[in-house]
Amino acid sequence: MSRLVVISNRVAVPKARGAAGAQGGLAGALNAALRKNGGIWFGWSGQGVDQFTGSINYARSGDGVTTATIDLEYQDVDEYYNGYANSTLWPLFHFRIDLTRYENEFGVGYERVNERFAEAVLPLIEAGDDIWVHDYHLMPLGEQLREKGVKNRIGFFLHIPWPPTNLLVSLPFHERLVRALLRYDLIGLQNDTWLDSFLHYCRKELGAEVDEETGTVVLEGRKTIARAYPIGIDFEHFMSKGETGEARQAQQRLESSTRHRTAMIGVDRLDYSKGLPERLDGISRFFDNYPERVRDLVFIQIAPPSREDVQSYQHIRAVLEQKTGQINGARSEVDIVPIRYVNRGHSQEELFGFYRGAKIGLVTPLRDGMNLVAKEYVAAQDPNDPGVLILSRFAGAAPQLDCDGEGALMINPHSSDDIAHHIRLALDMPLEERKARWERMIGTVRDDNVHWWTENFVGDLAAIKLD
């Protein structure tokens, strides 16, 4: 069995920026794969320094997983992380071309950091290792490693959507980026929609030979395989959180505070891809259409801040606070506030309790790679009295949770009327229908979990024959 070298922007070690909860079940699954295969997890420490040294900081967890991290210069953080990764690629790949910033220095910093990653991790790679690179921060890393003589199997998984070709071509040097990506042996995307978009680009813009059935892409004699691997939650681990006193207490707090009203919950990072302003517009429309139901429904939005150094994130926080204030100002009574906006994070135990206490889960991203909150909400429900999931048809999880129209209630997150209509349907849905819809969804949430995802990807990578 080959050792596994995992490479990602952030590494789940203590004090890594955003590590607690930023990767959650993914961190657990990768740690499990590393325990099984042996190997190392490499990435950025989350720390900035004045001068890059390439010095590696090693740590070993209690269960025997070794992590290796490097610090980046403040300029690297600005240009690579805040710049190209999160101000160029992130908005573009979420179809927000209006928010995409094209700055030459961002691209230069992105390539520089990928080169630094390659140089730093190179001595850690042994003959026979399989290498698994994660996400949009490190798309050129496979090419950088190839140019340094690495002949190992290298796989890449993209956790965010892949945009349509007519959007991607707006990116300067888009061909160069995708050609670099094709130096990987195996490329994983979240679902068939993103996979189809990727294959379409390779065929149309690069003139590659593409086999739609197998996902094989051949360009200039080199073969890459691209497949869909929908990521799941760590089901057993998450369910164990529901057995804790903290989860039960959180559920009781929510239920007692809603005063016999139905609780509807949204849990999202504070990010424009999540459709939060549009969600509030839909809730406002619901109360406009059914003003008497302000005594039937309370909406709880948990939105911890993220990427506070990026200007567009500061703007969305201000917009949400303004919209929440407007709705509450218009609809509140002395003893009722229709929306509770919570701008901080919560533990998995607390979230489990909140999910179980809420009879409607509202997940309305404008575009999402997967959206594991939708799957967590389904997992946390009481089988005897489950809640209803309202889900954007543009979430990566939609193909799995639609269940031929008999699972989640699918909505268009851009339409306030559609959101309002489905809130009413969910609020009035009888118990038997709620149970039937939940039973259709829970199977895929339980079985297509993050460990299944890891084993599928690592297994397919290991099966690739090296030239």
- Enumerate the active-site residues: 159, 368
- In angstroms, what CA-CA distances link 30 with 41, 149, 450, 453? 9, 26, 9, 10
Q: How far apart are CA 193 and CA 397, in angstroms?
A: 11
Structure tokens at 177: 């980026």
Residue 13 sits at the vertex; the CA angle it makes with 7 and 18, to the nearest 5 degrees, is: 85
Q: Count of H helices and E strands in the chain?
A: 19, 16
The rounded distance, in Å, linking the Cα atoms of 198 and 204 is 10
Residues counted in the chain: 467
CA dist 24 and 348 (Å) reads 9
CA 450 – CA 446 distance, rounded (Å)? 10
- DSSP structure string for 211-228: ETTTTEEEETTEEEEEEE
Give yes or no for a contact between 168 and 174, defined as CB atoms under 8 angstroms apart: yes
Amino acid code (one letter) for 105: E
- Residue 154 parent element (H or E): strand 154-157
Other C-beta atoms closer than 10 Å to the C-beta of 447 total 10
DSSP string, 364-412: --SS-S--HHHHHHHHTS-TTS--EEEEETTSTTHHHHSTTTTSSEEE-
Asked whether 380 and 242 are in contact (CB, 8 A), the reply is yes
Amino acid at 408: A
CA 221 to centroid of chain Cα atoms: 33
Q: Are 255 and 358 in contact (CB under 8 A)?
A: no
Question: What is residue 360's three-state secondary structure?
Answer: strand
Rounded to the nearest angstrom, the gap between the alpha carbon of residue 247 and the centroid of all alpha carbons in its chain is: 23
